[in-house]
Amino acid sequence: AEEFRWAGQGDPSSMDPHAAAVGTNLSFLGNIYDGLMRRGRDMSLQPSLALSWAPVGSDGWRFNLRQGVTFHDGASFTADDVLFSFERATGEGSDVGTWFASIDHAEVVDDFTIDFITKQPNPLFPNEIANWMIMDRDWAEANGATSASKEEPNFSRFNTNGTGPFKLESRQADVRTVLVANDGWWDTAEHNVTRATYTPIGTDATRIAALLSGEVDFVNPIPLQDVARVNGAGGFSVIEGVETRVIMLGMEHQNDTLHDSNVTGVNPMKDVRVRQAVYHAIDIDSIIENVMRGQALPAGLLISPGANGFKDEFNTRLPYDPDRSRQLLADAGYPDGFSLLFRCPNDRYINDEAICQAITAMLAQVGIQANLQTITVSNYWPLLREDDFDMYLLGWSPGGSLDASHPMRFLMHTPDPEKRLGSWNFGKFSNATIDSLVPQIVSEVDAGRRQDMIDQVHGIMRDEVAYVPLHVQPLVWAKSDNVELTQRPDNFFNLYWVRVN
């Protein structure tokens, strides 16, 4: 009987695996629900409820399912449950519908085989659904939980019935959630945890105090500055890794005027020289050393090393060169600089506020007066959606697919609500070549040709300074020495890799 207690920053907003495509939820629920496949310690796709998968015909994928799997309530798992989970995930109220954007329909072949028919070839489909979790149709129907919608009293938001390694024992939202090991799990358990308690602790200092005073075994994340302290405390260790999330600056590309500026009637950011000037003004090494305490990688791309399509030669940054920056501004017609509205979240990314402050100071040194406005993330997105910024800070992680095309679809393609493309491209960066390349990249099966197109996009991206990539955010977890666990680069934490000694 090994107890494991851990603390994180926030609580999963729902126990429904389709309700929110948010890391916190998916990571947590991955302990309760299984998907068709799962990612290993190195992010590689591994069989889970699907034993194998392969393209079927030209436009589809076939999944052969594992037999003898039962849900926590004892019901057995069949292809029908997969079909149900697909319907549910694409249905009303689901937040994970975009994972299936390429799917036309699904067909149950037999009890343990299912086909997903795509609208056009989609080589990445298995990657894209790596975080998709399977629910039991009978249980959902019996409890009126056939949709993931939020507003009705939805049973599935507080109750679970997965096939995963842990069962939900009790849950008090925002206070504590207790899981117990599922003895009937289909896989042999690597973990030795019989009971696991999760507590969300919002305040950094309190969270780290909880670890250091032995009240929890593991916390995620810890503030960067406390790494040394934890390592030095004795009995604790920090697990550091590189997350797949890239932090960047976004800029207004389309509007003809800035929101808050001493230059009116023009949008300097439309001038690529100005965007380059911003790029050159940023001393990323200093930010990494002082704000990120040396625990981040400088980024030249919107994807991190290890992502599909990443190439080192494109990952170089424009050098820090304030003089060049001033020169570029002068060339663009702003020898005295200009001012702009710089928006920044203060509780979304690691040290986001401090990063923005540092950037503001650096921009000030070349003459750009950024009016920095920091705000809690829940109010941040609406502002970005309302186009209420001149420059903003964004972090992007290529989700389950870990593919270079992911940020292209969301961040680089011209916004197109119809096709659900460019939906996070708040600055409305637009480049015809990229727009034509993105669909091709998405459906291209040949790896070489695909990489060429990706490189082409990355080239344009950098020439145009569509975004100013900053760094790849680190993952900093801390645990007590008596537990072993695995940090996955997507910041998912899996209980089934935990051993308590």
Partner 1 sequence: MTDTNTRLLYRIYDSDIGYSFRKSRIAVAATIVTLIYFLAAIFAPLVAPTNPYDLASLNLSDAFTPPAWVEGGSSKFLIGADDQGRDLLSAIIFGARMSLLVGFASTFLAFVIGVSVGLVAGFRGGMVDAILMRIADIQLSFPAILVALLIDGVARSVMPSDMHDTIALWVLIFSIGISGWVNFARTVRGSCMVERGKEYVQAARVIGIKSTTIMVRHLLPNVMGPVLVIATIQLAVAILLEAALSFLGVGMPLTKPSLGTLINTGQNFLYSGEWWITIFPGVALAILVLAVNLVGDWMRDALNPKLR
Partner 2 sequence: MIAFAVRRFIQAIVVLLAVSLIAFVMFKYVGDPISQMVGPETPIDQREALREQLGLNDPVPLQFMHYLGDVVQGNFGRSFRTGLAVDRVLLERIPATLELAIVAVLYAVVAGIPMGVYSGLYPDRWLSKFFQTVSLIGISLPTFFVGVILIYIFGPTLNLLPTFGRGEVVHIGFWSTGLLTVSGLKSIILPAFTLGMFQLTLIMRLVRSEMLEVLRTDYIKFARARGLSNRAVNFGHALKNTLVPVITVIGLQLGQVIAFAIITEAVFQWPGMGLLFLQAIQFADVPVMSTYLLVVAVFFVAINLVVDLLYYVIDPRLRLDRAVAQGG
By the criterion CB under 8 A, which residues form the site for partner 1? 204-205, 208-209, 212, 223, 225-229, 259-260, 283, 286-287, 289-291, 341, 346, 353-354, 357-358, 360-362, 364-365, 371-376, 379, 383, 388
**Residue of the chain from 45, 80, 176, 330 that contacts partner 2 (CB under 8 A):** 176
Which C-beta is closer to partner 1: that of 79 or that of 362? 362
Tokens of 300: 């030249």
Beta bridge partners of 115: 62, 107
As measured in angstroms, the least distance from the Cβ of 412 to partner 2 is: 17
What whole-number distance in Å separates Cα of residue 358 and Cα of residue 342?
A: 12
414 touches partner 2 (CB under 8 A):
no
Q: Which residues pair with 370 in a beta bridge?
A: 340
Show the beta-strand stretches assigned E in 152-255: 166-172, 176-181, 195-200, 218-220, 236-251
d(CA 136, CA 84): 8
Residue 233 is a binding residue for partner 2 (CB under 8 A): yes
Identify residue 457 by its one-letter amino acid code: V
Buried b or exposed e, range 441-451, using 16+ CB within 10 angstroms: bbbbeeeeebb
C-alpha–C-alpha distance, residues 344 and 346, integer Å: 6
Helices (H), 51-198: 79-90, 125-128, 137-142
Q: Would you give the binding string for partner 2 spanning residues 354-383, x where CB under 8 A is met?
A: ----------------------x-xx-xx-
Helix/strand/coil for 105: strand
Q: Is the peptide bond before 322 cis (omega within 30 degrees of 0)?
A: no
Choose between 105 and 176: whose C-beta lies nearer to partner 2. Answer: 176
> If binding is defined by CB under 8 A, does position 20 make contact with partner 2?
yes
In the complex, the smallest distance separating the C-beta of residue 183 from partner 2, rounded to whole angstroms, is 25
Compute the least distance from the CB of residue 73 to partner 2, in Å: 22
Q: Which stretch binds partner 2 (CB under 8 A): 46-54, 284-292, 420-428, 457-465?
A: 420-428
Would you give the distance in Å from CA 11 to the centre of its chain? 16
Number of alpha carbons in the 13 Å side-chain half-sphere of residue 491: 26
| Interaction pattern, residues 121-160, with partner 2; x per rule: CB under 8 A | -----------------------------xx-xx--xx--
Instruction: Tell me the window of 42-50, 132-140, 395-403, 419-427 that interacts with partner 2 (CB under 8 A).
Output: 419-427
Q: Return residues touching partner 2 (CB under 8 A).
A: 13-14, 19-22, 95, 97-98, 150-151, 153-154, 157-158, 172-176, 199, 201-203, 205-210, 212-215, 233, 376, 378-379, 381-382, 417, 420, 423-424
